[in-house]
Each structure stands twice: as C-alpha cells, then as structure tokens.
Chains A and B, each alone.
Chain A
Amino acid sequence: MIHFILLFSRQGKLRLQKWYQAQDGPEKKKIVRELTSTILTRSDNCQRKPKMSNFIEYRDLQIVYKRYASLFFCFAIDKTDNELGCLEIIHRYVEVLDKYFGSVCELDIIFNFEKAYFILDELILGGEMQETSKKAVLNQIECADKYQEEEIVELALKDIGLI
C-alpha cells in the first residue's frame, strides 16, 4: 500500500503532498524534510557519478522516487510491495497529467494543484491503485469537470434570471 506521495521541485519546494496514512503535522514536516534532502543529494550526485537507483530504504518503508524534468515524484510503499510496479504507477500518473494539461510542466501543477489532486484521486484511492487505464481516468476527470462547468453555467444563468 502507498503510505504517502510527495511532489517537490529541484529546489526542494513541495508541490503536492498526499498522505494515506495519518501522521501528525510535525512528523509530516520531518519526513518531508528528510526525504527531500536525501533525494536531492542523491540526484545531485547523478551528474558526476553514474546513476543511482530510484529506491531508498526509509524507516520501515520503501521510498520509490523518480524525476521528471524539474519535478521529483516520491512514493512511499511497504517493503513487501513491488518497487517496479510503483515506478509504473508514478509513470502512469505523469502520463495522465501530461495528457490532461497537454505536455505538463511544473507551473501547471502549481497553478492547478487541485486538478492534480483530483487526477491523483482517480488513480489511487486509500493508498491502492484504483484505475490502471489512462483513458478511463481521463474520461472520469473530464466528465467531472464537465459536470462542474455545467453547474457553473446553470448557476450563472440562474443568477441573471434567465432560468
């Protein structure tokens, strides 16, 4: 099961965090701090030395992270979980984001962070993979968006007294 998901920039700025296992505030901050620094130092070495693996053992968890452009996607899973499978989940998420925003960049996620959350919620629920099909996820999220838009339009029309 996925315990938490962090997205952060190369400067260590958090862009998204999702906790599937309850933690109290200071503990969360500690974990985020520790992980961002370990992962950033590991990837700093990347340029000089040969590539590092995408896995870190952290407490009793397995951390799987991957860097896409300037963003790090960091998932914490159980030791017994499949690390490669987790990498694929990360990739799936990035693919869906890419499709939804149309070649996604960090700014898309910063300014539409709630959309990024909604997409994540379609992909993963309670720490478990919910939908493996890219198409289905996109379809759901678009339908929900449409539902919301229709509502807005309806309300606007009501406001000005057309309906």
Chain B
Amino acid sequence: MALQKVKGNIERMFDKNLTDLVRGIRNNRDNEGKYIAQCLEEIKQELRQHNIAVKANAVSKLTYLQMLGYDISWAGFNIIEVMSSTKFTEKRIGYLAASQSFHQDTEVLMLATNMIRKDLNATSQYEAGLTLSSLSCFLSPDLARDLANDVMSLLTSTKPYLRKKGVLLLYKVFLRYPDALRPAFPRLKEKLEDPDPGVQSAAVNVICELARKNPKNYLSLAPTFFKLMTSSTNNWMLIKIIKLFGALTPLEPRLGKKLIEPLTNLIHSTSAMSLLYECINTVIAVLISISTGMPNHAASIQLCVQKLRILIEDSDQNLKYLGLLAMSKILKTSPKSVASHKDLVMSCLDDPDDSIRLRALDLLSGMVSKKNLMEIVRKLMSHMAKAEGTTYRDELLTKILEICSQNDYQYISNFEWYVSVLVELSQMEGGSHGGKLAHQMMDVAIRVETIRPFAIEQMSLLIENSSVLLKSGRHTSATEVLYAACWLVGEFCSLLANPRQALVSMLTGLNPALAPHIQATFVHNILKLYSRLEEVDTEIDAMILGKLEELVSSPNLEVQERASTALQLVRSIANPDIGEEQLRKELQILYAGELNPVGPKAQKKVPVPEGLDLDAWINEPEPEESDDEDEVEENLAQVFFKDDRQERGGKKSPSEPSEEELANMRAQRLANQSSNPNYLKSYTPTSPSRQDMNGGEVDEIGIQSIDLDVPLYIPGLKSADSYFNIESSSRERKHKKKKKKKSKKVESSSEDDDGPNVAVSRNLDMPEGASLSDQEEESLDPLDPHSALAAISLEDLQTPPKGEKKKKKSESGDQGLVNLGDINSGDYIPEGVEAGEDSPIALHVSHKKKKKSEKKSKKSKKEKHAPKEDDLLGLEEPAQEQSADPKLTTSSVQVIGSDDILQVSLVPASVQITDTGFSVQITVDNTSQQKVKDINLLVGEEEFGLTKSLKPGSNKTKTVIIGMTNLQPGSPIQANLNYKENEERSIELCLVLPATAWLQDSSIEDENFAELLVSGKLEFMLSKQIQTSLNIQEATSVLSRHKIHVVQVQGGSTVSLHALSTSGHHLAFLLKPINGGSNFTMSLEGRSSCKELLAAVLDLAATELA
C-alpha cells in the first residue's frame, strides 16, 4: 500500500503540471496543434490512473486547454470525479473545470446532484461558496428544482458571504425553475433589509433583474426601494434601484412624480458619471410615462437635455455615445427640445466611430421638419457618397428613406425633389438597397397623385439609361429599381408625353442580364404601353415581336410564359387580317382601371362572413374516396397542380388499352402538344404572323448600348441639389419679406407649416368589415424564461389576507362605492408601510386615491362596472374576476338530451317567451365518429330542420321559434330530435324552459314595494335554505343576471329583491344570511301571486346560488 503511494508520488513528479503545459505551449508556437495533441494524450493517460491528485492535475490542464478553444466535453465524468474529492485544493480545480465546460444540458450533471447538495451545505464557507459560484454557470432546470430548497436555506445562513452568493444564485434558480419564485419571494424581500450591505445589494440586483422583465409583481416593493434610494450612498446599488424604478414607473405614474425630485437632486449633486447617466435615463422614462400634468416637466427635460449636451460635447467618446443614446429617448416625447441641438448631432455624423455615427443617425430621423428635411437629406447623401463599406452606406440609405417616408411623407413639401433623391440614390453604389428604393418609388408614385406625371417621366428616363445602372451596380440589387420604374411607366402610361419613345426604351432596356422577375414585369408593361399606342406602327410591332421571341426561350418559367402570351397577343393585333383597332381597344380595356395599394394586413382581416363555415365541405366528398387515405392526401397535394393522371383516374381501366385506343391517344397527345406554347418542339413555320414579320428583319434592328464604367450623368434627370438651391433661395426671399413685415405682425407660421401641402393618399384597400385597429397581438416568446416568471403571480404574497379585504369592502359597500376605489385601497401599500406611515409614497398614494374615487363616483353612476380600466394598479382586479367567472359559465349551457352520437343543449339565457310562442337557441354536438344527416327537431306537431348534416366533432347552433302558448313554468315540454345515422334514430328531449324566461326586466320604488307586500296580493309564500360559497353581494349580482333586482339593503346583510313576470305577476324576495352572519348558508324567502312561477324561480335561484 505504502509502496504504491510512494510510486504514485514519484510518477507525479514526472507529470507535466499546469505551468509546464503553459510554458510548453509558449515554447512550441510553431507547432502548437501538434504539441497540444500530444499533451491531450498524456492527459488521457493521467485520467485513467486511480490517484485523484493526478486526475486533478490533468483536469486543471484540461481547463486551460478548454479556454484555448479545445473541446473537453469528453472529460465530463472525470471532472465530476475531481469535484467529489474531499480536498479543497482538488475540489477547487474540479468546480472551476465544471463551471467552464459544463452547461445546463450536460448529462453527467444528473450524477452530481447529491454531491452538489452536500457541498452546498459544507461546513467550510469557502467550499460552499465555491459550489455556489460554480453552480451559477451550469444550473440546469433539474438541478434548480432539486436544489432550490438548499439554496433558500442558505439565505438564513449566519455568514453574509454565503447569504450574498445564495441570493444571487436564486435569480438563476428562478430562471431555470420559475415555480421556485413564489415560495422564495418573501425571503428574498427580507434580504432587502439585511444588515450586510453586500447581501442587500445582491437582493436589489436580483429583484431589479426580475422586475425589469416583469415589473407588475414588484410594484408593491416601491416604498422599500424608495427608502433605500434616499438613504443609501452605495452608487452601485443606487444605479440598480434607479433602473428598477425606471421599469416600475410606466405602471404607476404617480410613483414617477414622486421620483422626479430626488432624481434631479442626484443629477445635480453626483460626480459619478454612471449614476448621472442612470438618473437621466430614468427621468426620461418617468417623463415618458407621465407626459402631462407636471408643473416642472419642461424644466426637468431641459435639465436632462443640457446634461446630455455636456456629455455629447465631451471629448470622451464613451460619454458622447451614451449622450446620443439617451438623447434619442427624449426625442420620443419632446422632439422640440432635442431639435435645437441639431448641429451637435450633425457634427457627430463625422465621427470616426461608427457606433457614434449610427446613434447620431437615429437621432436625426426624429429631428427633421419640413424646413430642414432637404438639408439633412443632402448631408446624408453626401456622407453616403464618401462612406466606406456597404454596411454603413446601406444604413444611411435606409435612414434617408425612413426619414422621408415617416408619417406618410409628413415632412416632404416638394415631392419632385424626393423623386429626384430616389433616382439619384438608385445610381449610387450600394449593397442591397435596390429593393427598398424600388418599393419607395412605387409607394410615392402610387400614393401621391400629383407627382405621378413627373415621376413617370423620370422613370422612363431611368429605363432609357438602364445600361448605366446595370454597369454601375455590380450587385444585381441595383437593377431592382428598374422593376419599379417599368411597372410605373406601364401602369401610368397615359401620363407619358411620348409613350412610343418610352416603349422603345423599355424594349431596349429589356436585357436578359436582368433578374427574371424584372424581365417578367418588363414584358407585362410593354403590353400595357403597346395598348396605349395611338396609331399603327409596324416598326414597333416588329421590335416587340423580335424581343418577345427572344424571351420565349428564356430559362425562367415566368418570363417564358408571359413572353409567349404577350407574343400571341401582339401577333394577333399586328395582323392586318384581324380587326386590329378592335383588338387594341380590347387590350386597353384589359389594363383599364386603377390599382389601389392594399393594406399589408388586409388579407388577414377579411372577416369570415356569417354562416360560412370554412371547415365544412362545399361538395360532400364521395364516401369511397374518403375511405382511401392515400387518395385524399394526393388530392390535397394537388390543389394547385393537378396532373392529368388524376383526371384520367376515373377512366383508367385495369386492362391494357387496345391498339385503336392507343392510336387515338397518340393523335390526341400530338394535338395537345401543338397547341401548347410551352412545349418545345421542332420549329415548323405554320404561323402566318410569323411569316409577315420575317420581312421586317427585326433582328437586325438591335440597338447598340454604350458601355461605360463610370456612372453617366443622365441628361434630363433632375438632380436633387437643384431643388435644394431653389428651396433655400425661396426661403431667403421669404425671410426678407418676413423681416419687412415683422413690425406689423408677429411671426406666426411655425416651421412645420412651411411649404405646400401635398395630399398623400392614405387609402389602403381593406376588406369590408375589417376592424381598423392595427394592433397585433403581442406574443411572448415561449422560450424566454422570463415569460414563465411573468406568469407567476406574487400578488397574494404581498397583499393583506383576503378576510381583511372583504371586511373593508362590506363597510364601504353601504355607501354604494362597491366597485370603485375601495377595492384597491390598501393593496398598493404593503402592511408594514401602512403601519409605519413614514413612507412619503404611501401617504401620497392613498391620499390621491381617495380623491380619485370620490371624483369618479360623482362623475357617473353608470360607470360603476367600468373602473377596471381606470384601475391604476391592476393588482387585485383579475383575481376577483376569476373567482366570479366560473359561476357565470357553468350555468350558461344546459344539456337537454343526448345519446351516444349527439348531445343537445340549450342556452337558458337565450330563451324568450312572447305572446305567440317562444324562441330558444338549440345546439347539437356530434360527439361520435360518424357523420349524421338530416337533424330535425320535433315539438308537438311542428318539425324544425336544424341542419342537413353534421360532421364528427362539430356542432350546430340554431335558434328555433316554437309557436306554443299556454306554457307553465317548471313543466317540461316534450320534444324529439330525429336524425339519420345509417338508420333513422331519435332522441327524446326534456325541454324545460328556465323560469327566468317568464321574467321581464323591471324596477320598483321602495314605497310601491312596501305597498305590494302589505296589499296581500302576493298570497303564495315559499322559502328555501341555500348552501353557498358566495357572500350577499355576489349572490345579488348573480340574481340580477336573472332579472331579479335589489330593492333595498337592510342592515348591511339582508336584501329585499323584486321581479316581474311577463304576464304581470309580481315576485318579492328576501335574502338573508343565517347562522349569525356567516356567508355559507342563506335563506331565500319568496312571495308571489303565481305559485308555479314562484316555485320555479326559487328552484332556479337555489341552483344558481349553490
């Protein structure tokens, strides 16, 4: 034994240790890979030995190699071995290796759960601390679940060192295992007041991180944090707290108002830039959330902007960057105060640092006005011309387009200028901007009608010079603008001065080098232009035919198809034998009519018309077809491209076709082929138009295009700069005029009013009946752990227990304010603070609240049920709603009959009794796997067709009006449901109409009600005891849904109610709790002049309340 040990020790002396390895790597710079491969071999040898010290040495070397980028995941098990060593030295190495190389999906971790638990509870705080640090790197959901309790118990450790680490690790535990949040939260909250500043700061960190993702749950901690903020001097913690407040204020604007003062004080006093920056950020967030109603609102913004200006002007690039970043946040609320610093921002565009340039760009887009748009865009364009690298260039271009097009071109006063800018931009070298430009060109020309003539002229010039674009833009995307150009020219060709010339240039421009979709658009628009030509022009005809014939052999299907269609059309028109004028006119009609832009979400918003069931079969599928699943699948796959095989499927006979049939088929196929333009066949000059055209020798007309590498100046294309000069000179003139007039009147036109207003069409085609709201439902990313955390409610952990709340409610209930402010009072302020009363926020808030609720009650009594929206805290309401909800839904449907195939139900609330009969809404559910046909409802002699057929799993609801009088409440009506499912079947229905159907909405004065009771008219009396979980208020609200309304509340708990039947019978009720005010048993006593009705209504009420 001893010998073995000594031997092991001697061997160890020859092993490489970490230092040797590092040194070795440094000495073998030239063949590092080889050296490391050799070392890895040695390490593998060492790991095979039993001596744990040798293994630790190997693992420590592995950790170094891992950092250099080598995969060590194969050594996972060895790492765990070293982690389980009893010696701290080795444990340290093992845990370090684990924290570096393990991650949450590492499988060997499952083996380590118990060991980690043991280490967490180790007596030495360094061992436990090491485990905590390391665990934070590889915590898996399983580990989080298993170890959550152990981490929690560390929070009560006597050692601050472990408490601190435990608190921080909790955040990771929450992320991996959200269920741990609820039980851990109270303890975490306690740590905010831990005597050790490190622990306190750690707790602030964790809550800040949690709250930033899901602020709602942490609103109630605001007073605690406020106290911390005003008392603490730890800048690290202050930053976190202030950040946390920034996340909370959007939910609670009053908190924001409270914050402004201390924050501005900090801004003035602090010398730490990081704190200053955080304060400014939060002040901005606060100001955004309380944009109005602040007296010194403007002053705070001014202060922020001033401070930011100092940051931006600073020589420190970091401060400059952050200043710009924060400035862009202010921009959203008060663009005016930022706009005055335009020069400063513009100067940042020249900064060598692209982070700064990009931030400055962001800012610029918010600073534009009608007046300075041209100047800014010109500056950006000059930047674009000299910018290096396509990324920045593309960024600039996107920004220019964004600036100009924002708010439906709000800031553009001269659209001719804008079109010129677009044309100019299209000639610049760039990466992938063509598509954006094309889209913008089309958008402008379509939506701004007045600019169309100009735009079309420019576009036709662009097409004429398309060769320049093709040359200059080596990237194909530059030619993308040709797509827009040719579409516009074709669509609005009536505006062209010289359509013939445009057509010619389009034909020349149609180059096989263009992208296929552009070629296809060219072909289509050539046709449009062609239809516009006034007189017969054989030269043009020949040109078009020549071009199209080239394209018929295009490898792209779309181009080929369009070309051959167009070719046939033009041939027929050009053929003098056929009435050419007639055809040309018809072609014109084909392209007549304006195309409106379609809203991007239009398709989604088409409402499904009533009565249209998208899942229903239009034609019942053939039964035998539906049996064969493969067949069905094939059908589905061939919705669009049905091949012939399918069509012939029916005729296909199993036997071989005879000779005769084969011959017929062959003849047919040949005929098909010859009429199919897409079928490539040996050329036979059969077409007469072709022969005509051959005389023209079109192919020789080919036009020489000029090849130049330098982008040409295109004569006729307006330069954007020319507009700038016009604008500035006209402004100068204006300025002079203004100066003259100054004595007479104060300058009234604000800078935004400058320039003419051009109508921009905001019409987007939307389907009829589509809702106008543009809101898309925000969906949470299911993979984000924070969404799981957000789903956890911490409300009941923070609010006083339910019983207390109810007491409050019933007290104030007497005043008729049940639904208003009182529900919330006390929820915002956690218990401790309320008692202390030393929190300024708490006082402030509760005071306000009272005022608000008073105001509200005055405002309108009808809004009693509305305050949900006004509820500023939104903490309590949803829970309340939920508890009431099930009662509402359970009774909403009543099953009146069923068998193994169908289930029939009715909606009691839908029953209406009239003089001639009653109407009822009946729902039939098909619960079986079979399809059911011809469902009819038979009541007495009458038969009502419900539906012709019902698919498995679907249902059908129909309102039936039954002409039946003499109905008695409580007595069932016999009815049958007949249907066919292979054979005729029938279900017996027990149609009991709810008693409330006989009631009508009514109200009665106190006095009349008293009179009614004394008059003795209500001769029948019945009473019931009801076991219920509802309190009196909830019970009355349930009853009022059934048209039984409260008349009077006596002594806070006894309620008298009244209802009136359609036939004029009065019903009076008294509802009171028995057993000394407990909510769980109530007695309901009723009197009426109609016994049957009373019994039925009482029964109904009892079932509803129970």
Contacts and interface: CB of A to CB of B under 8 A. Distances in A.
A64 to B, nearest CB: 9
B206 interface: yes
A144 B317 contact: no
Given A82-B274, A118-B96, A121-B133, A128 B89 contact: no
B51 to A, nearest CB: 13
Nearest to B209: A1
Contact of B355 (A53, A80, A121): A53
A131 B164 contact: yes
Contact of A130 (B60, B73, B99, B168): B168
A129 interface: yes
B1085 to A, nearest CB: 62
A87 B457 CA distance: 56
A59 interface: no
Interface in A112-140: 113-114, 117-118, 121-122, 125-133, 136, 140
B356 A53 contact: yes
Contacts of A17: 67, 100
B198 A148 contact: no
Nearest to B198: A131
Nearest to A117: B96
A151 B88 contact: yes
A129 B355 contact: no
Contact of A19 (B137, B206, B212, B236): B137
A144 B129 CA distance: 10
Contact of A53 (B69, B88, B202, B318): B318
B126 A143 contact: yes
B87 A151 contact: yes
A18 B102 CA distance: 12
A16 to B, nearest CB: 7
Nearest to B136: A126
Interface in B437-483: none
Contacts of A83: 277, 318, 321-322
B169 interface: yes
A131 B237 CA distance: 11
Interface in B398-442: none
Interface string B337-362: 00000000000000011011010000
A54 interface: yes
Contacts of A132: 198, 201, 234, 236
Given A83-B318, A84-B274, A132-B201, A22 B104 contact: yes
A144 B126 contact: yes
Interface in B1-23: 5, 18-19, 22
B96 A128 contact: no
A80 B209 CA distance: 10
B202 A128 contact: yes
Contacts of A136: 198
Contacts of A130: 164-165, 168, 198, 202
A102 interface: no
B161 interface: yes
B172 interface: yes
Nearest to A19: B137
B192 to A, nearest CB: 15
Contacts of A94: none
B105 A22 contact: yes
Q: By DSSP majority rule, is chain B's interface helix, strand, loop, or mixed? A: helix
Interface in B62-100: 63-64, 67-69, 71, 73, 87-89, 92-93, 96, 99-100
Interface residues of A, number: 59
A80 B247 CA distance: 10
Contact of B278 (A14, A19, A25, A85): A85
A50 B172 CA distance: 41
Contact of B239 (A25, A56, A82, A122): A82
Given A51-B317, A57-B355, A82-B239, A114 B60 contact: yes
B22 A110 contact: yes
B493 interface: no
B22 A84 contact: no
Contacts of B239: 82, 85
A163 interface: no
B161 A29 contact: no
Interface in B149-180: 161, 164-165, 168-169, 171-172
Interface in B966-1002: none
Interface string A62-102: 00000000000000000010111101100000000000000
A84 B19 CA distance: 36
A123 to B, nearest CB: 10
A84 B92 contact: no
Interface in B203-258: 205-206, 209, 212, 234, 236, 239, 243
Contacts of B356: 53
A20 B212 contact: no
Contacts, number: 148
Interface string A17-53: 1111011110001001000000000100100011111
Nearest to A146: B126
B1075 interface: no
B273 interface: yes
Contacts of B168: 125-126, 128, 130
B370 to A, nearest CB: 31
B318 A87 contact: yes
A45 B352 contact: yes
A14 to B, nearest CB: 6
Nearest to A32: B69
B124 interface: yes
B69 A14 contact: yes
Nearest to B106: A22
B274 A55 contact: no
A140 B5 CA distance: 34
B89 A151 contact: yes
A55 B321 contact: yes
B132 interface: yes
B1069 to A, nearest CB: 58
Given A82-B277, A83-B318, A85-B239, A25 B96 contact: no
B320 interface: yes
A111 B61 CA distance: 11
B711 to A, nearest CB: 30
B274 A125 contact: no
A83 B283 CA distance: 17
Contacts of A155: 87
B809 interface: no
Contacts of A133: 198
B67 A16 contact: yes
A104 interface: no
A36 to B, nearest CB: 12
Contacts of A129: 201, 205, 236
A152 interface: yes
B70 to A, nearest CB: 10
Contacts of B933: none
B37 to A, nearest CB: 18
Contact of A14 (B18, B19, B67, B201): B67
Nearest to B234: A132
5 contacts: A29-B69, A57-B358, A125-B133, A126-B137, A131-B198
Interface of A: 1, 14-20, 22-25, 29, 32, 42, 45, 49-57, 80, 82-85, 87-88, 110-111, 113-114, 117-118, 121-122, 125-133, 136, 140, 143-144, 147-148, 151-152, 155, 159
Given A85-B239, A126-B136, A129-B205, 18 more contacts: A53-B318, A53-B321, A54-B317, A80-B212, A83-B277, A83-B318, A84-B273, A84-B318, A85-B236, A87-B274, A117-B96, A117-B100, A125-B133, A128-B168, A128-B209, A129-B201, A140-B129, A147-B88
Interface of B: 5, 18-19, 22, 60, 63-64, 67-69, 71, 73, 87-89, 92-93, 96, 99-100, 103-105, 124, 126, 129-130, 132-134, 136-138, 161, 164-165, 168-169, 171-172, 198, 201-202, 205-206, 209, 212, 234, 236, 239, 243, 273-274, 277-278, 317-318, 320-322, 352-353, 355-356, 358
